[in-house]
Amino acid sequence: MTTPPLHVCIATGQNLANLIPALQCAATQAWVLRTPAMRASAAHLAGALKARGIDVHIVDFADDAVTTLHAQAEAIAERLDGRAVTINLTGGTKLMTLALVQTLAEHLKTAPKAEPPHLLYMDTVHRRLDWLAPAPCSEPMRSVLRIDDILLAQGYRRRGGTDAAEWQRRAEDRGKLTRFMGENARPLGRFFGTLNHLAQLALNELHGPWRREQQFEFAPGHKYAELLRSAQQQGLLHWDGDTQIVFHDRAAAAYIGGSWVEEYAGFKISGMKPGGWSPCLEIQHVDSGATNEIDAVAVHGNRLLAVECKAARGADDKVADWIYKANQLARSVGGHLAQPLLLSARLLNPEHHQRAREYGVDVLDGAELARLPEYLRGWMAGD
């Protein structure tokens, strides 16, 4: 269906419901109706639309009374002057949309050579665009969003981060070791906590200088020894076969202490080939200036997956904070289409799993890390 390239939409707290149809319908111009409560949201949507080459006009739309709504809608109808228009009815209140549609309909009855408006509703739950006029029909939601589209629409921008291709080249050198740890998380689980503890002692960021030499209480054996030998072959550390371990440098200690989980996630995500992904994404809110870092993000089917990675054993309140942060950051950055995922090399207790379910945070912990490819396939399929 060919639709008018001029889109009129009402700014809302869920900007993706306005951005997706504009991109899917190849809009060239957008009028964003801005109520007093939606000034910031309108600015964020405008930024996302402009970044994709769409001409944007922000129109103040008072919503303090029914008579005001109709007067504002009439002014918009007069400005349109019979032009073909696509009106996105997803945002705003019922009174706002009724006022807009009724006033436009009356105006078009008398406007010479006026075309009936195309009216749509974005159903993000069922992933479709529902057309109310000129003829009722539905069409599937197409995959049109990239990572930066979602960030801008939600009021964020990249502050930095790592290029995915560059990251993959750098991480591939120790990819065999990374995959070994992830795929053997069950037998290695207890040892991860020990390595994390020794790495933190070596980094010693709060209490003094770098201390590369550390000691195990007992000489590691079996899978633990296999891990250490592989790490030594990679030049990450020296292990004397007994109780002493010497980290090569700070970066090696950070990797052994836990950042390998981020690289494991990155390998598996890149292997699934989603619509877009980025490791170690640093973002900044355009209004508050607050900054955050997400260990990995992926976008597929207009949905964002925000991945938080942990390797250490946390105190109960710390794990609860991980879960809360994963939920809040994912929803803030990715909107209601986002899904938070917590990856933990150590097992979480049943209470934390219950809390994660309550917050809508998916969890893969311990041996479940090896299920990450299966999880990603389900997420990309929309399961």
pLDDT band at residue 39 under the 50/70/90 scheme: very high
Assess whether 186 and 229 both reside in one domain.
Answer: yes
Average confidence (pLDDT) over 146-156: 96
Whether residue 150 is contained in a domain is answered as: no
pLDDT the model gives residue 313: 61
Assess whether 362 and 285 both reside in one domain.
Answer: yes
Average confidence (pLDDT) over 115-139: 92
Assess whether 49 and 80 both reside in one domain.
Answer: yes
Structure tokens given for 131? 């057309």
pLDDT band at residue 100 under the 50/70/90 scheme: confident
Whether residue 49 is contained in a domain is answered as: yes
Whether residue 152 is contained in a domain is answered as: no
Assess whether 10 and 131 both reside in one domain.
Answer: yes
pLDDT band at residue 342 under the 50/70/90 scheme: very high
Between 183 and 49, the more confident residue is 49
C-alpha 13/C-alpha 17 separation (Å) is 9
Please determine, for residue 315, whether its predicted confidence score (pLDDT) is greater than 60: no
Assess whether 249 and 324 both reside in one domain.
Answer: no
Between 273 and 8, the more confident residue is 8
The H-or-E segment that residue 6 falls in is strand 6-10
pLDDT the model gives residue 370: 87
Per cent of the chain over pLDDT 70 is: 95
Whether residue 365 is contained in a domain is answered as: yes
Assess whether 227 and 288 both reside in one domain.
Answer: no
Please determine, for residue 206, whether its predicted confidence score (pLDDT) is greater than 60: no
We report the CATH number of the domain holding residue 253 as 1.10.10.680
pLDDT the model gives residue 319: 86
pLDDT the model gives residue 15: 94
Assess whether 220 and 238 both reside in one domain.
Answer: yes
Average confidence (pLDDT) over 362-379: 92
Listed residues 258, 292, 325: the one ending a domain: 258
pLDDT band at residue 302 under the 50/70/90 scheme: very high
C-alpha 62/C-alpha 33 separation (Å) is 9
Please determine, for residue 38, whether its predicted confidence score (pLDDT) is greater than 80: yes
Whether residue 210 is contained in a domain is answered as: yes
C-alpha 28/C-alpha 17 separation (Å) is 17
C-alpha 15/C-alpha 154 separation (Å) is 7
Average confidence (pLDDT) over 303-329: 84
Average confidence (pLDDT) over 201-215: 81
Q: Which residues pair with 131 in a beta bridge?
A: 120, 137
pLDDT the model gives residue 295: 92
pLDDT the model gives residue 101: 85
Whether residue 339 is contained in a domain is answered as: yes
Determine the structural domain holding residue 78 and report its residue range.
6-144
Cα separations (Å) of 239 from 151, 299, 375?
44, 40, 35
Please state the φ and ψ torsions of residue 274, each to the nearest 5 degrees. -70, 180
pLDDT-wise least confident of 33-37, 202-206, 213-217, 281-285: 202-206
pLDDT band at residue 95 under the 50/70/90 scheme: confident
Choose from 163-177, 248-262, 311-325 the range with maximum mean pLDDT: 248-262
- Round the CA-based radius of gyration of the chain to a whole number and report it: 26
Assess whether 251 and 273 both reside in one domain.
Answer: no
Task: Work out whether the CA dihedral 265, 271, 275, 281 comes out positive or negative.
Answer: positive
Please determine, for residue 207, whether its predicted confidence score (pLDDT) is greater than 70: no
pLDDT band at residue 4 under the 50/70/90 scheme: very high
Cβ-based neighbours of 122, under 8 Å, separated by 6 or more: 17, 18, 20, 21, 88, 90, 129, 130, 141
Assess whether 171 and 265 both reside in one domain.
Answer: no
Assess whether 14 and 113 both reside in one domain.
Answer: yes
Assess whether 125 and 182 both reside in one domain.
Answer: no
Assess whether 246 and 287 both reside in one domain.
Answer: no
We report the CATH number of the domain holding residue 276 as 3.40.1350.10
Counting the structural domains of the chain, the total is 3
- Please provide the average confidence, as pLDDT, over all residues in the chain: 89
Please determine, for residue 7, whether its predicted confidence score (pLDDT) is greater than 60: yes
Average confidence (pLDDT) over 53-69: 89
Average confidence (pLDDT) over 286-315: 88
pLDDT band at residue 245 under the 50/70/90 scheme: very high
We report the CATH number of the domain holding residue 19 as 3.40.50.10770
C-alpha 150/C-alpha 142 separation (Å) is 15
